[in-house]
Amino acid sequence: MLRPVDIDDVWNGLGRFGVYQFQQITLTILATLPMAFHIVSVVFIGFTPEHTCSVELSDVTDNNRINDVINVTADTCNILVQRNVNGNLVTEETGCLYGVNYTLSKTSTFVSEWDLVCERDTIGRLSQSLVLGGMFLGALAAPLADKFGRKPVHVAFNIGLLAVTFTMAFVKNITTFLVLRFFVGTFQQGMLITVVTFWLELFHTDSREDVGIVNGFMWASSVNVLTLVAFLLRDYDWRILQLALSVFSVLSLVEIFMMDESLRWLIANNKMKKCHALIEKVWTLNKRNKQILSEADQKETDMKPLSTEAVGKVILPLRSNSLTDQTTVMVEEHWSQLVTDKILRRHSLITWGLWVANNLTYYGIVMMTPSFAVGRYLGFFLGSISEMVGNFILLFLIKRFTRKTTISIFQFVGSVALLLTIITIHFDGDVVRIVEVVLFAVARGSISNSFNAIYLYTPELFPTNLRSAGLGVASAAGRLSGIIAPFCVYMMEVALWLPSLLFASLCLIFCFLIRYLPETKGRELPQKLEEIWEWYNHDNNRNTIDTNTVDHEVFITTPCQ
């Protein structure tokens, strides 16, 4: 008798968490530790030091008019020259025509090295927008992992990140630097999306929540390590810090030899020989045997091992301890179904909105960190600590509540914290400023962990051969909004409360809209689109009396509570 493979039963037989899973998760965690480094490092390598225009008396006079000059004042971005012209006091104003003087070393940041201040200030902010623009491209490229496999795409992007970040430390002009910053975003996002998908598929359904928590701790740990390294190297050239951060990606080279392909992807794509070899490897490392694997799948068979298992295209004859090339007919999914299929279109649009709200809010808060009264390093450290504390809260919430409830709680708390900062700007005093910093830290920690929960939730909403595509396109949508995050400082010049109001409003809107998505907690990752249709049928039938079947056109217009 043939029946679809329950991959969770396969992992039950192979071992839910053994030496194999420990090796794979440890390797990929260490190799992806720099996940946050080059995305938020601009706070340390690209901040704007205090500065004034450079000017000498000889710059604003000539030999015939030297006595006409009464006073020369150099301001942040302009020079004021007062002259006596025929007995009248005349004030002339110019920009920093003769250079800029900084309170720090000229090479302390790339902003000071290339004088990206005053009228060139937008170029410095553009460097961060290009990173987020590159993340958009990287997210779109991530669906390659659905076609070619998780490992080759992840490793390629991770090695690309190593090459680009290492090269950045030696560039001599701003144009090359900006181009490399774009590719930093591309390689980082491609690396991160594929490894999160790999983590999800490495474990049993009951352990998927742990993957979301691992991802959260990894991001917070990455930010904490970045802050520590930046603080220790604060008196050195920004290129030294950039070089030190790039070295952390060297472990990507080890992944070439030690990282394996996702078993779930191999089964879904009928990679028979590789699947067989991987199962043999897991059996050996986890000290399991083939009979155990058979016994793990005896839920409905009077304790007699099944002879075969069907997985979409694949049939696994476990009793014979080998894999065959027998196939069953399966409709091939295509990435276009993310918008053409009515169920997946709903999933896509709402997850896109969630990613937009979280990206803009998180990176907006990060880029506003230098404006905090407590200073760059302490302000950034407090924010990273709040993310770590939020991870422990996430650990509790995601085990106790549903995915949707967890995301909504974090977004609501973050929104309230941001709205409260609007009140603090109307008061003065050191205590008020400290309260403001704490509120921003709470908002950052909440949105960061909402992000972590969304990272877990999004790929669970899509079938195996559209999983990376679904996650990648949602991430790409978010990165587009993140492009404007570096310019939030300009919004603060219009009104200090404007960024907080914008961020809080977006998060509250999607606190409501997420209720229209299905809950995935406790459900196995869907192999095929039809399994997602069954979710809606099941949920709809549970709330509808005397309904045995639900038409596709009907249930996709009914919100899933």
Question: pLDDT tens for residues 253-287?
Answer: 999 999 999 888 888 888 878 888 888 888 888 88
- Residue whose structure tokens are 């968490």: 17
In contact, 517 and 461? CB cutoff 8 Å: yes
Token duo for residue 346: 């709903």
State residue 261's pLDDT score. Answer: 93
Local structure of 71: helix, strand or coil: strand
Q: CA 511, CA 1: separation in Å to the nearest integer?
A: 46
Q: Give bridge partners of residue 89 from the DSSP assignment.
A: 84
Q: Running along the chain, 561 residues long, what does each successive block of 10 average in pLDDT?
A: 59 82 91 90 89 80 63 85 76 85 91 91 86 85 83 94 96 94 92 87 78 80 91 93 95 93 86 85 77 45 35 35 41 74 90 91 77 67 84 88 93 93 83 84 90 88 85 84 74 80 91 90 83 80 48 36 31
Question: What is the location of CATH 1.20.1250.20 in the chain?
Answer: 1-42+107-287, 333-539
Quick one: which of 316, 273, 322, 337 has its CA closest to 526?
Answer: 337
For Cα atoms 30, 474, 196, give the angle at the middle one, nearest 5 degrees: 20
Helical ranges in 425-463 per DSSP H: 430-460
The DSSP letter of residue 60 is S
State residue 543's pLDDT score. Answer: 57
Local structure of 546: helix, strand or coil: coil
First to last CA, the chain: 37
State residue 15's pLDDT score. Answer: 79
The reply to whether the predicted model has a pTM over 0.75 is: no
Q: Within a 13 Å sphere around the CA of 522, how many CA atoms are in the beta-carbon half?
A: 8
In contact, 76 and 14? CB cutoff 8 Å: no
Q: CA 393, CA 446: separation in Å to the nearest integer?
A: 10
Q: CA 273, CA 266: separation in Å to the nearest integer?
A: 9
In contact, 29 and 218? CB cutoff 8 Å: yes
Q: Is 329 exposed, middle or buried (0-12, 13-18, 19+ CB in 10 A)?
A: exposed
Local structure of 4: helix, strand or coil: strand
Q: CA 225, CA 381: separation in Å to the nearest integer?
A: 10
- Cα torsion for 14, 18, 24, 26, to the nearest 10°? 170
State residue 27's pLDDT score. Answer: 93
- Beta strand ranges found along 29-144 (DSSP E): 51-53, 69-74, 79-85, 88-94, 100-102
CA distances from 417 to 143, 381, 424, 425, 497 (A): 36, 18, 11, 13, 13
- Residue whose structure tokens are 């980082």: 188
Strand order in the sheet with 88-94: 69-74, 79-85, 88-94
State residue 37's pLDDT score. Answer: 92
Quick one: which of 99, 264, 110 has its CA closest to 175?
Answer: 110
- Residue whose structure tokens are 């770590």: 388
Q: CA 289, CA 466: separation in Å to the nearest integer?
A: 32
State residue 335's pLDDT score. Answer: 72
CA distances from 236 to 104, 105, 229, 231, 242 (A): 11, 9, 11, 10, 11
The set of residues, in sequence order, having a beta carbon less than 8 Å from that of 482 and lying 6+ positions away, is 132, 135, 359, 360, 363
CATH classification code of 1-42+107-287: 1.20.1250.20
| Superfamily per CATH, domain 333-539 | MFS general substrate transporter like domains (1.20.1250.20)
